[in-house]
Amino acid sequence: MGTVRNILCTKGHEVFSVEPAVTVYDAIELMSQKNIGGLIITDHRSERLLGIFTERDYARRLILKGKSSKDTEIGEIMTENPTTVCPDDSIEDCMKLMTNRRIRHLPVIEGGRLTGMISIGDVVRFIMNEQRGIIEDLEQYITGHHQ
């Protein structure tokens, strides 16, 4: 099975982030424009990871508590100290983390720096592609069309 690094090589390392003072409305607008389900919250001066904000945070910590997205800063409702992974962590370990902690996004940290983010969709896509390759290899072996 592959590693987080394999996903990032295909997906890229681009991470969308905002500072904690950004309004929830502006964060949701950015997420909509970029078609993403989560944003990293950083201190842009130090580039330090402060938290993560996801659609689930929006639903549970803003809407259900009757807060206004235009009056609430993202830092008030973000998930602090999010679970992170390293590029050399296995996809299997990521799946276990996501399942056990019921999360859909994992920031990727290497050498103390944020280098990417993977989602459950990225993990599923990687596994499907890997399995497709295995099936094709087996079909070639069985039919004698291997090299």
User: pLDDT grade, residue 146 (50/70/90)?
Assistant: low
Domains of the chain from N-terminus onward: 4-143 (3.10.580.10)
Rounded distance, CA 87 to CA 5, Å?
A: 5
Question: Residue 147 pLDDT more than 70?
Answer: no
Rounded distance, CA 86 to CA 111, Å?
A: 9
User: pLDDT grade, residue 143 (50/70/90)?
Assistant: confident
Instruction: Give me the pLDDT at residue 116, please.
Output: 94
Q: Where are the beta strands (DSSP E) in 19-102?
A: 38-43, 48-54, 79-80
Instruction: Count, in order, helices (H) and strands (E) of the chain.
Output: 6, 6
